[in-house]
């Protein structure tokens, strides 16, 4: 394969061979757009360079020389020829854009002689000298490795001497002096003269571009953006065009559509008599493309149209006008806001540029998250004072409040409050509900605060361990020593984990018509059902609004820890025998009944999967420390013996229930094996609620009862029997029946490994991929994220956190096995996912491929899941098509 | 199939059809031994009875009637015939012995008339009347359901009236009165007369025996001994013989060998003129079989020989002599001590009764555990005052001591001490070493106390939550309110979990020559290697003594938490940077070097598998509470600012390191990914020690370095590189090399699921089945055992604790997968097990079947593992042979 291709020889190669920049040039050139001629050294050459330990591939420069000769013929100019000098740019260009990370050398071909020719040709000596000066500076720094600051220092000293402000104010005489000083610097620092032969320079420039692929900035950038290290960069050689040749020259950038709004309207800027870097330097204000000459504008409009109809995408292009002649120097897909992405995709379908599947496929689902939450205005110039885990997306401002009751009280009065706590417990719910957002010093992505906030769509930053929090004295202190007291205004960004001082301007979310249209198309393309995780009627309504086809996970913990129920729940836990326990459960019954009715009403006949109690009982009790403080207080106040006795009993129970590893302890269905009456009461409330709502509304209520943490088919058999008995009890009482299903979470490796057996007794499986990941890896999510996950990602031992994107190799293997073996023994088995992976696009693609029936995720991630599910289906149908 | 078989029709049926008792009778009868004639209603009938909800299977009684007619012909007697009455016993008999749990009716066939005939025939009216009285009492209670106490009360009132002490003192007149009162009682309580027809009585007796299969005692017994509920009982009908017909009659029991010692010498007792129940009543002292008449003795010796050559097992038989005629009434394999089991098995090989494989196969490996530990003398009449978990077998007595330092001090002086603590930590090691045994109130089978004690072969009872422990005031209180103070003598039995008051007599363990012979045979039969878990030189020596072929798990935690190292380890943990951490590690190096050298020396060239550090760092720090108490103390004593600062730093570090679920946290290889220098130093110490010991002894040291808690091939690659670099470093320093292997624990589901990848970089796998069980089930062992395991076993949701016997369905599936996929990518992969299952016989059988290379267990379980491995190989070869 050729390592060097002239533009017209490169047609058909892709961006992995040509780099993004080269690909754009080749494509534009191929459709007749005015591109200065040039050639591309493909990424292949760079890869060989590295494979050979930093040596230029054999024959590369021979090939380059041959192709250069063709370019010289084509342009009628020659590199280094004093009469008809050819000037070229030597640019890096990787398959994925890495802006500013690698090196580029312009104006190659300029030397003492050709600079004179250029001056003559343009009639602008200053321009020619300055171009020469720029070349030496770039070449010295990049190809010869001279410290760039030294060139700047020389330039600066001349400006200071003459009291000049801008480089452009330097006249020809000064520029000559500077050029000489640059040459002296190079000789002094490298021990040799600057090579005079442009061909030698060109070879050095190519090598410099290769080297720049592995400079520390570029490596760091790739690590951050997860770009593979072995892609290599291409090198583009192109004839220089100059926008600074006078008033009929200039340079500009254009977007084929508005990148902020997506509106189909040419957008961009133009600076007369200038080169690209002058735009960056910002000496003069560029003109809007609306104000350029009609001739130029019509050329740009024409180009924009051609670009879009070729690339089928909004383009961001750079152009230069040299003496009235228009040249395109670059084009690429334009960066845009999420809102613009959606609008453009929908509009282009209307314009028949693309079809609906293509529209869906080009959305980055992760990006549209920002359309669903308030976000900080990116233009606001603010600095974070601390950073924690981005536990629940969205941004919120309010006064810092350190006490839950106070937060609830202020919130109720309409005050905007950020609740700041070491961590939260179910008892903080009333404060969380009334707060705008949540900031905790401890806890990870599955901490109480994080889970509750995500469920409510409320912004939260958790595990912000860099702050020193003193809730008693109502302040926190940042790592920099800044003290934030109660009542001070702060802002948290739950999408980035940042904490900021003051009230930061925000952008409100907008569910535009375009977005709805796109989601509608997605729904038609996808195979996977998209359900929601919702624990209460508001969340259920939100889920319906965002397109949920059912509830895949309705946790019942909140029905136990709301403040009006907690005392009864505690009574139940402290009961010494079954009789008292049952009595307490009876008193909880009405609350549960009304909660379930509300949820069934708001889902209006769509399926609702209720997970029976999962949390360990100690989660419903206060901490030992809290009780000990109360007891101390009682002692000092000489409280009654019976009151003290009560607290002592509570403390004993807390100690008795405490566990070494609560995640692996007495929770989930294990609770119900010990106390079957808990699930019995829950089942009775569910079934009664379903029948009552059916009577009310006359429409079927679809109930799925889900058993958590099953590891053993005997648990399934034992508890299914209890559930069925409880349901029969209600049927008998109410004189009518209702259909319902009983299924299990698959959230332990053993459940997955014995899925064939479980499926004989389960109507459905729901993969709890959070816990399944924790147990498969033996990772406690909180501990892993606090202690070692970042190190694992940095060292590339993990490429992604398995809690964000499903580990398809290990956990995914269990998912696949369980689904296949479950379906084998029970062909009617419904199989879904209710872990947070249900809202992660890459995981959704996997679940689609494995053949699950649905994914379930929090309401605010539903649009993402709908898009991702459609993309997965489209990608799969393409694969099937080509195989 | 016939439901009723005469003895000679039943030959060839097994104990599942005939029950244990029936099987013995049929076999004896078939080889011509003198057995009173009879028949058996098979278990099939009982199973049908229950399958039909407690109804007698159709045709059963017709069949019974036919067979009864044959028996009547055979004996020349008839049921209920006043002239020639037949008397029969109706006995229950289950496939597995359930002594005393089910019901039996004797003397059926006796009524007013036949009693007179019996009186005449025997010339003993009192005997006949008493036999009749006994029949009515048994029948009334068992077949008619009259409260048995009421019969006893009538009997008692007559004895009191006459001031008699024994039932046998009652004369014919009284017996007649009593019989009438029994009849009246039956009529009063059941509303009907006692049926007079013996045939009707027989049918009722059979039904009563069926019913007794499911009486609460029997159900409870089966639950406890894990006997299936659906086996059913057989019913044996047999002609009565009477040992109480005069001086030429009698009854006795015999063992073909001594059940305590196993010595080949007839052993048993004989009581003249008595029935079996008289022996039980203990009125007269029976004679030893050594003193009976020569004629009788020669008959018994003859029978014993025939029984052993038929059953190839030591027999426990019952016989009756009726008017000089000898009858056998029962035979079964004799219960015996573990020591006798071994001796008999070995002797029988010598006698060519059985072969070596049969000798090995009949040992119950779990039973021989008692041969390896001191045990409480079962004859001692003692009562437990509390019961905890049987964490480490063996028994120990000593004074209760509640403080570790005191225990260490007293132990050093030679005092026998039981250390009683809430739980133990590494800092208690010095006290544990000097104590005879360990009693803790908290913690489960994997708590620190349990693991350490098992490793040392020291008796321990842990998690004894029923005691209220007050270590500060140096006492504990039992559930019964008994207070045990410091210095009181107590005994713990680590094999049962019992705590006893005082010094209980004990039996010392004995590794007899017979046992060594048997183990030697086992070694020849087994395929699996048997290695040991040993952390220190003493344990390694013990392991060698008990036949270990290598060390499969040498934990390195003890090298860090011994008291002379702990301060340095803490310094390491508190280091703020790598440099200080490395300096602390350097200071630990000499300790580790000498530890490894000691272990390598004691294993004399056998392989030693060293597991690099696994415990989370916070395990090496004191608890937050302890530090807070020190700080309080400092405050009150106005300690120096620097001292207080130091404790504050320590406290901050403890809090920083604390975890929600330490089992799933920052431990194992995750520590080394964060701080590679820890494993590097360990590797250097291991390799240097190996080379130095090789220089010393001139023989190869076989080193295996094992990485814990691997979940990801990248961890393996990353850490293997660090290990190799460290080893190369030592090679260079010492100028010589040594071979070594690097492998991984497979103790997380993900390691098993990705074993094919891992095996590319691992020389060996060692299944850590403890942790693998914890993660596969999402069971924290300590929490599960404290909170819900007993309930799971009671409800038969689990048949065994998966921590004692490997869960072959779930965990075992992972083991099999990992072994197979590992071997596929690395055919030289060595695969073993180092979890505690390596010493569990049923698990060993599974590991043999899966094809692992070796099991590794604690030294004291090695003989069990050797026997179990041999049994597995023998069983497998049989299966292979028959397939």
Q: pLDDT band for position B883 (50/70/90)?
A: very low
Instruction: Please check the confidence at residue B881 and state whether its pLDDT lies above 50.
Output: no
Query: Residue B748: its chain A contacts at CB < 8 A?
Result: 776-778
Q: Whole-angstrom Cα distance, residue B464 to residue B789?
A: 15
Kindly determine whether residue A776 and residue B814, on different chains, have CB atoms separated by under 8 Å. no
pLDDT for residue B455: 64
A290-299 long-range contacts (CB < 8 A, ≥24 apart) are A292/A252, A296/A270, A296/A321, A296/A326, A299/A326
Residue A300: Cβ within 10 Å count: 23
pLDDT exceeds cutoff 80 at B378: no
Whether the CB of A791 is below 8 Å from some CB of chain B: the reply is yes
Q: Of A765, A754, A749, A743, give the one whose Cα is nearest residue A811.
A: A749
Tokens coding B185? 């009682």
Q: What is the pLDDT of residue A389?
A: 87
B800 has pLDDT over 50: yes
Q: Tokens for B236?
A: 């044996």
Segment holding A106, helix H or strand E: strand A104-108
Share of chain A above pLDDT 70, in %: 97
**Which pLDDT score is estimated for A281?**
56
Report d(CA A594, CA A685) in Å as an integer.
8
Residue A464 catalytic? no
User: B873, B525 in Cβ contact below 8 A?
Assistant: yes
Q: How many C-beta atoms lie closer than 10 Å to residue B589's C-beta?
A: 15
According to DSSP, residue B13 is labeled: -
Nearest in space to B74 (alpha carbons), one of B15, B122, B29? B29
Mean pLDDT of B256-271: 88
Q: Can A448 be counted among the known catalytic residues?
A: yes
Residue A627's pLDDT is: 87
Residue with tokens 């029988």: B348
**Whole-angstrom Cα distance, residue A347 to residue A329?**
27
B784 touches A at CB < 8 Å:
yes
pLDDT for the residue numbered A282: 55
Burial of B367 (0-12, 13-18, 19+ CB in 10 A): middle
Among residues A217, A215, A237, the alpha carbon closest in space to that of A225 is found at A217
Give pLDDT tens digits for A271-282.
888 887 666 555
Interface residue B788 vs chain A (CB under 8 A) = yes
Residue A533 parent element (H or E):
strand A529-533
How far apart are alpha carbons B439 and B478 in whole angstroms? Answer: 13
Mean pLDDT of chain B: 91
Terminal alpha carbon distance of chain B: 28
- Rounded Cα distance between B254 and B869, Å, is 34
Q: Mind listing the pLDDT tens digit for each residue in B140-181?
A: 999 999 999 999 999 999 989 988 877 778 899 999 999 999
Facing B709 at nearest CB: one of A664, A666, A778 = A778
How far apart (Å, rounded) are the C-alpha atoms in residues B547 and B372? Answer: 13
Rounded to whole angstroms, how far apart are CA atoms B458 and B450? 9
The mean-pLDDT minimum among A195-199, A443-447, A688-692, B308-312 falls in: A443-447
Q: What is the pLDDT of residues B532-575, one digit of tens each?
A: 999 988 889 889 989 999 999 999 998 898 888 999 999 999 98
Whole-number Cα distances in Å, B201 to B108, B111, B854: 8, 11, 61
β-partners of residue B832 are B766, B854
B810 to chain A, closest Cα gap in Å: 5
Q: Of B11, B4, B109, give the one whose Cα is nearest residue B66.
A: B4
- Burial of B597 (C-beta count, 10 Å sphere; 0-12/13-18/19+): buried
Q: List A residues 696-735 in contact with B (Cβ-Cβ < 8 A).
A: 709, 711-712, 714-715, 718
- Judged against a pLDDT cut of 80, whether residue A454 lies above it is answered with no
Tokens of A771: 């816990």
3-state secondary structure of B809: coil
Question: Which of B855, B614, B608, B854 is CA-nearest to residue B741?
Answer: B608
Average pLDDT over residues A401-408: 92
- Of A513-522, B239-248, B276-285, B329-338, the range with the highest mean pLDDT is A513-522
Mutate to test the interface with B, among A462, A618, A648, A661 (most CBs of B within 10 A): A661
Report the Cα–Cα distance between both ends of chain A, in Å, rounded: 27
Q: Inform me whether the C-beta atom of residue A784 falls under 8 Å from chain B C-beta atoms.
A: yes
What distance in Å separates the CA atoms of residue B212 and residue B143, rounded to the nearest whole number?
Answer: 10
Q: Do A661 and B666 touch (CB under 8 A)?
A: no
- DSSP secondary structure of A434-448: HSSEEEESS--TTSH
Neighbours of A741 (CB within 10 A): 16
Q: CA–CA separation, B462 vs B391, rounded Å?
A: 6
Q: Which of A329, A514, A502 is nearest to A399 (CA)?
A: A502
Block residue for tokens 């077949």: B143
- Please report which residue ranges of A240-330 form alpha helices under DSSP H: 276-281, 294-311
| For chain B, percent of residues with pLDDT exceeding 70 | 97
Cβ atoms of residues A230 and A207 within 8 Å:
no
Name, in order, each residue with C-beta under 8 angstroms of A445's C-beta and a sequence gap of 6 or more: A389, A391, A462, A463, A781, A782, A785, A803
Task: Provide the whole-model pTM.
Answer: 0.80
- pLDDT per residue over B811-842, tens digit each? 999 999 999 999 999 999 999 999 889 999 99
pLDDT at B299 over 50: yes
Confidence class for position B75, pLDDT limits 50, 70, 90: very high
C-beta neighbour count of B869 within 10 angstroms: 28
Q: How many residues does chain A have?
A: 883
Tell me: pLDDT of A228 over 80. yes
pLDDT digits (tens, 9 = 90+) for A71-116: 999 999 999 999 999 999 999 999 998 877 888 899 999 999 999 9
Question: Could you tell me which residues come within 8 angstroms of residue B735 by beta carbon, excluding any fewer than 6 positions away?
Answer: none
Look at A711 and B775 and tell me if their CB atoms are within 8 Å: no
Phi, psi of B243 (to 5 degrees): -90, -5
User: Model confidence over A557-614: pLDDT tens digits?
Assistant: 988 988 889 999 999 998 888 899 999 999 999 999 999 999 999 998 999 999 999 9
- DSSP calls for A213-235: TTSHHHHHHHHHHT--TTS--EE
Which chain A positions have a beta carbon within 8 Å of B787's beta carbon? 659, 665-666, 670, 674
pLDDT given for residue A70 in this prediction: 97
Sign (positive or negative) of CA dihedral B711, B717, B718, B719: positive
A301-315, B203-217, B331-345, B350-364: range with lowest mean pLDDT: B331-345
Percent of chain B with pLDDT over 90: 67
pLDDT digits (tens, 9 = 90+) for A472-509: 899 999 988 999 999 999 999 988 899 999 988 887 77
Helix (H, G, I), strand (E, B) or coil at A242: coil
| Beta carbons of B754 and A780 less than 8 Å apart | no
Continuous segment of H or E residues that includes residue B285: none
CB under 8 Å to B470, separation ≥6 — which residues?
Answer: B476, B477
* A806-839: pLDDT as tens digits: 999 999 999 999 999 999 999 999 999 998 899 9
Task: Determine contact, residues A461/A376, Cβ cutoff 8 Å.
Answer: no
Closest approach of chain A CAs to the CA of B764, in angstroms?
Answer: 20
- Give all strands (DSSP E) within B519-677, no chain letters: 529-533, 551-555, 608-611
Contact of A334 with A314, CB cutoff 8 Å: yes
pLDDT of the residue at A283: 57
Q: Do the beta carbons of residue B4 and residue B40 sit within 8 Å?
A: yes
Please state, in angstroms and rounded to a whole number, the distance separating the CA atoms of residues B92 and B79. Answer: 20
Whether A787 contacts chain B with CB within 8 A: yes
* B313 vs B750: CA distance, rounded Å: 48
Out of B448, B618, B722, B837, the active site residue is: B448
> With an 8 Å Cβ cutoff, is A749 touching chain B?
yes
Residues in chain B: 883
Instruction: List the single range of A264-268, B516-520, B682-686, B754-758 with lowest mean pLDDT.
Output: A264-268
Q: What is the DSSP string of A661-691?
A: -GGGSS-THHHHHH-HHHHHHHHHHHHHHHH
What span, in angstroms and rounded, lies between the C-alpha atoms of B376 and B380? 8
pLDDT band at B446, cuts 50/70/90? low
Q: Can you tell me the distance from the alpha carbon of A18 to that of A94, in angstroms, rounded to the nearest whole number?
A: 8
- With tokens 């480089």, the residue in question is A167
Q: What is the pLDDT of residue A882?
A: 44
- At A150-179, the pLDDT tens digits run 999 999 999 899 888 777 788 999 999 999
Q: Which two tokens stand for residue A846?
A: 């996997």
Q: Quick one: pLDDT band at residue B693, thresholds 50, 70, 90? A: very high
**A737 close to B710: Cβ distance less than 8 angstroms:** no
The predicted pLDDT at position A426 comes to: 65
Write down the pLDDT at residue A280: 57
Residue pair A738/A690 in contact by the 8 Å Cβ criterion:
yes
Question: Tell me, what DSSP letter sits at residue B370?
Answer: G
Sheet-wide strand order for A4-6: A4-6, A38-41, A234-239, A88-93, A104-108
Mean pLDDT of chain A: 91
Confidence band, pLDDT 50/70/90 cuts, at residue A883: very low
Neighbours of A854 (CB within 10 A): 26
Dihedral sign (CA A208, A210, A211, A217): positive
């Amino acid at each position: 394969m050729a390592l060097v291709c002239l533009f017209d020889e490169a047609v058909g190669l892709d961006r992995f061979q040509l780099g993004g920049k080269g690909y754009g040039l080749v494509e534009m050139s191929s459709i007749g757009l005015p591109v200065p001629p040039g050639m591309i050294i493909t990424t292949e050459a760079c890869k060989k360079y590295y494979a050979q330990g930093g040596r230029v591939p054999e024959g590369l420069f021979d090939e380059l020389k041959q192709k250069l000769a063709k370019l010289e013929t084509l342009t009628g100019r020659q590199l280094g020829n004093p009469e008809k000098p050819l000037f070229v740019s030597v640019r890096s260009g990787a398959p994925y854009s890495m802006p500013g990370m690698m090196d580029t050398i312009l104006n190659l071909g300029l030397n003492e002689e050709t600079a004179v020719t250029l001056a003559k040709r343009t009639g602008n000596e200053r321009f020619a000298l300055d171009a020469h000066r720029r070349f030496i500076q770039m070449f010295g720094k990049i190809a010869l490795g001279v410290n760039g600051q030294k060139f700047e220092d020389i330039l600066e000293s001349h400006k200071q001497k003459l009291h000049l402000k801008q480089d452009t104010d330097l006249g020809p005489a000064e520029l000559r002096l500077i050029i000489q000083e640059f040459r002296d610097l190079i000789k002094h620092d490298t021990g040799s003269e600057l090579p005079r032969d442009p061909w030698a320079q060109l070879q050095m420039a190519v090598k410099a571009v290769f080297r720049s692929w592995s400079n520390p900035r570029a490596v760091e950038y790739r690590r951050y953006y997860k770009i593979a290290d072995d892609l290599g960069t291409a090198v583009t050689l192109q004839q220089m065009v100059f926008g600074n040749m006078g008033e009929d020259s200039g340079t500009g950038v254009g977007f084929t559509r508005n990148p902020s709004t997506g509106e189909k309207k040419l957008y961009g800027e133009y600076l007369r008599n200038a080169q690209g870097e002058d735009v960056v330097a910002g000496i003069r204000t560029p003109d809007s493309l609306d104000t350029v000459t009609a001739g130029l504008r019509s050329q740009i409009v024409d180009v924009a149209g051609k670009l879009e109809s070729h690339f089928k995408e909004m383009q961001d292009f750079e152009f230069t006008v040299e003496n009235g002649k228009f040249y395109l120097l670059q084009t690429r897909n334009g960066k845009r806001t999420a809102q613009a992405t959606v609008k453009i995709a929908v509009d282009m379908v209307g314009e028949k540029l693309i079809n609906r599947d293509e529209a869906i496929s080009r959305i980055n689902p992760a990006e549209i998250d920002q359309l669903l939450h308030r976000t900080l205005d990116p233009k606001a110039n603010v600095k974070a004072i601390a950073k924690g885990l981005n536990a629940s997306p969205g941004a919120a401002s309010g006064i810092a409040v350190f006490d839950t009751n106070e937060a609830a009280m202020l919130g109720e009065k309409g005050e905007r409050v950020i609740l700041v706590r070491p961590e939260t417990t179910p008892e903080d719910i009333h404060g969380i509900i009334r707060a705008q957002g949540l900031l905790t010093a401890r806890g990870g992505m599955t901490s109480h605060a994080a889970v509750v906030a995500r469920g409510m769509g409320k912004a939260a930053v958790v595990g912000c361990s860099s702050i020193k929090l003193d809730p008693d004295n109502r302040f926190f202190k940042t790592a920099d020593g800044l003290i934030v007291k109660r009542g001070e205004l702060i802002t948290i960004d739950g999408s980035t984990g940042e904490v900021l001082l003051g009230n930061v301007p925000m952008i409100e979310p907008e569910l535009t018509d375009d977005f709805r249209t796109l989601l509608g198309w997605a729904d038609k393309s996808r195979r996977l059902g998209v359900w929601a995780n919702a624990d209460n009627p508001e969340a259920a309504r939100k889920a319906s609004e965002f397109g949920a086809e059912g509830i895949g996970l309705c946790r019942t913990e909140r029905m136990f820890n709301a403040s009006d129920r907690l005392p009864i729940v505690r009574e139940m836990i402290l009961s010494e025998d079954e009789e008292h326990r049952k009595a307490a459960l009876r008193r909880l019954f009405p609350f549960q009944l009304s909660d379930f009715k509300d949820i069934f009403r708001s889902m209006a006949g769509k399926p609702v999967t209720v997970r029976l109690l999962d949390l360990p009982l100690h989660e419903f009790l206060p901490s030992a420390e809290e009780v000990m403080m109360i007891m101390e207080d009682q002692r000092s106040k000489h409280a009654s013996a019976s009151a003290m006795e009560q607290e002592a009993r509570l403390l004993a129970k807390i100690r008795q229930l405490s566990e070494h590893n609560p995640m692996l302890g007495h929770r989930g269905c294990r609770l119900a094996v010990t106390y079957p009456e808990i699930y019995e009461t829950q089942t009775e409330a569910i079934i009664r609620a379903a029948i009552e709502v059916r009577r009310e509304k006359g429409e079927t209520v679809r109930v799925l009862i889900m058993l958590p943490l099953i590891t053993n088919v005997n648990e399934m058999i034992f508890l299914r029997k209890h559930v069925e008995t409880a349901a029969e009890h209600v049927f008998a009482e109410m004189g009518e029946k209702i259909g319902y299903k009983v299924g299990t979470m698959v959230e332990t490796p053993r459940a997955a490994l014995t899925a064939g057996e479980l499926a004989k007794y389960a109507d459905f499986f729901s993969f709890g991929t959070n816990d399944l990941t924790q147990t498969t890896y033996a990772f406690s999510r909180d501990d892993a994220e606090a202690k070692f996950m970042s190190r694992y990602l940095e060292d590339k031992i993990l490429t992604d956190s398995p809690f964000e994107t499903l580990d398809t190799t290990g956990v995914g293997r269990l998912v696949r096995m369980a689904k296949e073996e479950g379906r084998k023994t029970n062909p009617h088995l419904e199989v879904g996912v209710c872990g947070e992976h249900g809202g992660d696009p890459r995981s959704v693609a996997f679940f689609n491929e494995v053949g699950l029936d649905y994914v379930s995720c929090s309401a605010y991630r539903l649009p993402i899941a709908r898009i991702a599910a459609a993309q997965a289906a489209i990608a799969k149908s393409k694969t099937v098509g080509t195989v």
